[in-house]
Each structure stands twice: as structure tokens, then as C-alpha cells.
């Protein structure tokens, strides 16, 4: 927020941001502690408030970063020329799982954001979240060719079924990774296989091909 912060070296900036994200990924907005953040970031107490003015401001800045980051990487990750919905959905959900594996704190922070209900930040978050999910949804459906979907089914509903089922499915998968029930090796073998089986079923049911 404060331009001073942006003029910092990248490494130092990252250290601070990571310490903050770590804290907010573990605790609710209210119970997150700026003391712990500065301790883990290795900076003086005053600087956090010099850079970000307030805990609220810091939090909302992190939300922006997390959302933007998420969207930018998504844009890079998705194959925009892919016209098949099922392949696109595969990419989208693999993206989420890979993000969780690579940067679990960031991922957990994103999850925490949408559940945050502290009145101090709730409305602002809802607003940011709406903006982002609209963009994401648009991106996900861009250039998708739905012409091979069965004509006797409302295509929009069909798409929703596929999307929302995989939302649940991927959440469950990530929870298993999170709790150590499955490890990454399992993910790379069995989970992907199972994932494709679900895709195949839904594809067979819903398309003419």
C-alpha cells in the first residue's frame, strides 16, 4: 500500500508477505497477531504499520495479492485454445490441487478469506471475491465448445453439474492431502486416475460423442 513497501528488495518483501500470509492462513482475521507476523518476518513492529497503516489494510492488501496471483497463474496455466469442457475442467482442478501442493499456505489463505466473517473486513472481501470469481468463471468458459452436449438436457445445468461436482470432489481430495491421508505420490497415481474416471463418466453421460 505504502510505496515504501514496494521499494523494498524482493526478498525482503517476500519474507514479510509470507510471514503475514502464514499468520492469516492459520488464524482468523481477528485472532491473527501482528506481533507474530513481525517476529517471523524479522522486522520491527513499527514498520508493519508504517508499510501498511493498519492490520486491516495489511489484510486487504494480502487479499488483493492472493486473488491477483491466483488469477494470473490461472491465466498462464489454462490452455485457452482448449475447446473441450472436460479437458478445461481437468486443467482447472489440477491447477487448484497443484497450487495447494506447491504453496499450501497461500492456498489455505485463499480458503480462509472466503470464510472470513469479521465485520471489519467482510464487506470488502465479498466485493473483491465477487469480482474475482466473475473473471474466473468467464475465463473458464471462454472458447468452450458445448455443441456436442446432449440436446435433451439443459446445457447450462449440465455444465453446472460438472463444475460443482468437481468443486466438491477436489475439496475432498485436498482435505485428504492436508490430513496426510493421501500423500503426493498417491495423488500422482491413483487420484489422477480416479479423477479421469469421473470425467469420463460425465463426458459419456452428457455428450453425444
Partner DNA sequence: GATGAATGAGGGTTCATTCAT
Partner DNA sequence: AATGAATGAACCCTCATTCAT
Among 14, 28, 44, 131, binds DNA (CB under 7 A): 44
How far apart are the C-alpha atoms of 205 and 201, rounded to whole Å? 6
Distances 192 to 99, 165, 195 between C-alpha atoms, Å: 15, 16, 5
Name which of 62, 64, 72 is nearest 136 in CA terms: 72
Residues in contact with its own copies, shown as a per-residue x/- string from 101 to 130 under the rule CB under 8 A: --------------x-xx-------x----
Tell me if 49 sits within 8 A of 24, measured CB to CB. no
The least CB distance from residue 50 to its own copies, in Å, is: 10
The least CB distance from residue 49 to DNA, in Å, is: 3
46 binds, among its own copies, DNA, none (CB under 5 to 8 A by kind): DNA
The least CB distance from residue 102 to its own copies, in Å, is: 21
Rg (CA), the chain: 20
Asked whether the CA dihedral 20, 21, 27, 31 is positive or negative, the reply is positive
Buried b (16+ CB within 10 A) or exposed e, 16-34: bbbbbbbbbbeeebeebeb
The least CB distance from residue 82 to its own copies, in Å, is: 22
How far apart are the C-alpha atoms of 86 and 130, rounded to whole Å? 25
Residues 136-155 contacting its own copies, CB under 8 A: 153-154
Residues 84-113 contacting DNA, CB under 7 A: none
Tell me if 130 contacts DNA by CB under 7 A. no
Tell me if 27 contacts its own copies by CB under 8 A. yes
Residue closer to its own copies, measured from CB, 95 or 129: 129
Residues in contact with DNA by the rule CB under 7 A: 3-4, 7-8, 12, 32-36, 43-51, 53-56
Amino acid at each position: 500500500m505504502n510505496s515504501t513497501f514496494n521499494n523494498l528488495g524482493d526478498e525482503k518483501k517476500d519474507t514479510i508477505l509470507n510471514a503475514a500470509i502464514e499468520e492469516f492462513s492459520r488464524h482468523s482475521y481477528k485472532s491473527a497477531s501482528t506481533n507474530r507476523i513481525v517476529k517471523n518476518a524479522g522486522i520491527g513492529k513499527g514498520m508493519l504499520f508504517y508499510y501498511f497503516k493498519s492490520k486491516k489494510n495489511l489484510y486487504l492488501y494480502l487479499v488483493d495479492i492472493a486473488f491477483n496471483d491466483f488469477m494470473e497463474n490461472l491465466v498462464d496455466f489454462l490452455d485457452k485454445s482448449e475447446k473441450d469442457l472436460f479437458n478445461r475442467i481437468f486443467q482447472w482442478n489440477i491447477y487448484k490441487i497443484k497450487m495447494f501442493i506447491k504453496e499450501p499456505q497461500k492456498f489455505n489463505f485463499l480458503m480462509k478469506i472466503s470464510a472470513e466473517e469479521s465485520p471489519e473486513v467482510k464487506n470488502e472481501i465479498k466485493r473483491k471475491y465477487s469480482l474475482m470469481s466473475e473473471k474466473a468463471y468467464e475465463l473458464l468458459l471462454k472458447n468452450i465448445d458445448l455443441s456436442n452436449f446432449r440436446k435433451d438436457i439443459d446445457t447450462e445445468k449440465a455444465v453446472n453439474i460438472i463444475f460443482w461436482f468437481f468443486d466438491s470432489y477436489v475439496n475432498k481430495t485436498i482435505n485428504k492431502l492436508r490430513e496426510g491421508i493421501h500423500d503426493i505420490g498417491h495423488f500422482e497415481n491413483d487420484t489422477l486416475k480416479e479423477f479421469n474416471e469421473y470425467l469420463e463418466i460425465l463426458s459419456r453421460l452428457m455428450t453425444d460423442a
